Chains A and B, each alone.
Chain A
Amino acid sequence: MKTPMRATEVLDREFLEIRARLIDIAAALDRIDRAEGPVGGDTRLELIRHAVQILAGATPHRAEGVQSLFSLPYQDDWRKGYGL
């Protein structure tokens, strides 16, 4: 289904919202840095960094990509493990 708005119209409409959310994310990361104690090995930070890379990339379906990044893996032989 076609999106009624042109790309330039979407960008015009969304730019300030995107900007605000990016600043929110940047500020949250700064907040982590300013807080006491180490978080160096926390895999959640790696996930966040990887997510930011997805955003910066040119591959479409970024939302789906970020969702998948934050998802537990699915194994199609799960029934065997559960004896069901």
Chain B
Amino acid sequence: MYFFDPHIHMAARTTDDFRAMAKAGCVVVGEPAFWMGYNRSGTNSFYDYFRQLTEWEPKRAANYGIRHFCWMGVNAKEAEDVGFSREVIALLPEFLERPNCLGIGEIGLHKCTRNEVTTLLELVELGMKTGEQLLFHTPHLEDKYKGTRMILDVLRTDSRVDRSRVCIDHCEEHTIRPVLEEGYWAGITLYPTTKATPQRAADMVEIYGPERMLVNSSADWGPSDPLAVVEFMFAMRRRGHGESLIRRLVYDNPLKFFSQSRNFHFTPPQTT
């Protein structure tokens, strides 16, 4: 079965992973701009990273028959420095026009500070001015519930936000319901220890249904699995769920969500 991984950090992965993903049926990846493991030292570092996501990674992916799309933004961890964030935000319009750019992401909150919210508001403002899709990172662990509710509060007060074009990612059991109830796409991330497992993701699908659900690996520079979406497919099959439901979650849904971006041009693989 062909699938998307709509949130994965391929810049941190080797071509071994592209190869394994391609062999498993991955046809599209979505790569949001994120924290590299330590804070960047200047805007040039961000500029080069944005070039990597818009120029180099699509080439690496293409060698394995995978289409690479990306999101541009200031990640939540580095958003605490508002002045620096503003300098990076000034770089974004150039990259939002790149042919593989889907929108603004992954933006969000980390420790839910005032500065993080200030940066977030300015990123949302840019997104509304240029008509972007938005991808939100919700905080880790004990900050997740509070941060998710705060992100929803921010978006609720902006009437320009088209909720059908927004994904609130890294949802878990205590945050997924408000995200879905307010009309957003809910991303479930299959990542060890700090996020969900394939089994728990399957549980959430059974409880809430497949509408506006996305699953992803968010595989990055830490211990993580670029085949996590395949593990999810396996978990669903083991429970007896049908192929059309599984396909909806790993292919049709991300295709529908990505198709709302002006730069998303994708020819589905031929099945005959």
Contact = CB atoms under 8 A, between A and B. Distances in A.
Interface in B111-156: 112, 114, 117-118, 121, 141-146, 149-150, 153
Contacts of B174: 64, 67-68, 71
Contacts of B182: none
Contacts, number: 57
Q: Is the interface of A mostly helix, strand, loop or mixed?
A: loop
Nearest to A84: B117
Contacts of B146: 71-74
B13 interface: no
Nearest to A68: B174
A10 B144 CA distance: 29
Interface string B14-43: 000000000000000000000000000000
Given A1-B209, A84-B117, A67 B173 contact: yes
Interface residues of A, number: 21
A3 B200 contact: no
A84 B122 CA distance: 13
Given A79-B153, A82-B117, A84-B114, A72 B142 contact: yes
A63 interface: yes
13 contacts: A4-B240, A4-B241, A67-B172, A68-B174, A71-B146, A72-B143, A72-B146, A73-B146, A76-B153, A78-B112, A78-B153, A82-B117, A83-B114
The 5 closest A-B pairs by CB, nearest first: A4-B240, A67-B174, A71-B145, A64-B173, A74-B146
